[in-house]
Chain A
């Protein structure tokens, strides 16, 4: 079964620095999505990248997708304390409705 899997790293960075996290998946996908979860709260959609896209930007977010390596990265530039959260990648089962989430990366931005 396909599944998003982030690198199991917890990041602790200073405000203003960049944060990078990675995700790998196992089978073919037609898109990959990144979500943010603040402590004890709901999931907020950040960005969706389609399988025919290699890079996508949204504000301070940059996502890359390498379908040959079945991997994606999320870069947050010029981080702020408000970026402190868990970040999940999620892949839909191809031709299906469910999202498979990775374990999440905890990012702490120190003011």
Chain B
């Protein structure tokens, strides 16, 4: 069964350092997403990506964040200068159609646990 894969599963970084979280969405999906979940809190939307550009972003997704699809398979989230409050589980997801309009489920990866120290 196709799945979304994320690497690494756990990353520890020092405050102020840049991190890149990697995702391989399901191959025939068109929409890609990043969500995050701070420990004990809700899953929060960060950004959606379609046709090689950001289609929507939340207020959390500020200038410190960026996304990229560097090739035909990878989808990355970069945090330029990490803060302590960026510590969270980051989930990548993909859908074959638009998530809202398309009445379609989202397929999530297993997540990357980011710890900023």
CB contact under 8 A between A42 and B31, given known A94-B100, A95-B101: no
Question: Residues on B close to A: CB < 8 A?
Answer: 31, 33, 35, 41-45, 48, 50, 55-56, 58, 89, 91, 93, 95, 98-101, 103-111, 113
Chain A 65-97 interface 0/1 with B at a Cβ cutoff of 8 Å (1 = within) = 000000000000000000000001010111111
Q: How many residues belonging to A are interface residues under a CB distance threshold of 8 Å?
A: 27
Contact between B100 and A30, CB atoms less than 8 A apart = yes
* Nearest residue, chain A, Cβ from B39: A40
Query: Chain B contact residues: over half helix, strand or loop, or mixed?
Result: strand
The winner among B42, B101, B110, B113 for most chain A CB atoms within 10 A is B42
A99 within 8 A of partner (CB): yes
CB distance from A104 to the nearest CB of B (A): 7
* Nearest residue, chain B, Cβ from A5: B42
Question: Residues on A close to B: CB < 8 A?
Answer: 30-31, 33, 35, 40-45, 48, 50, 88, 90, 92-104
CB contact under 8 A between A45 and B107, given known A95-B101, A97-B31: yes
Contact between A50 and B103, CB atoms less than 8 A apart = yes
| Residue from the list B43, B48, B58 in contact with A43, Cβ < 8 A | B43
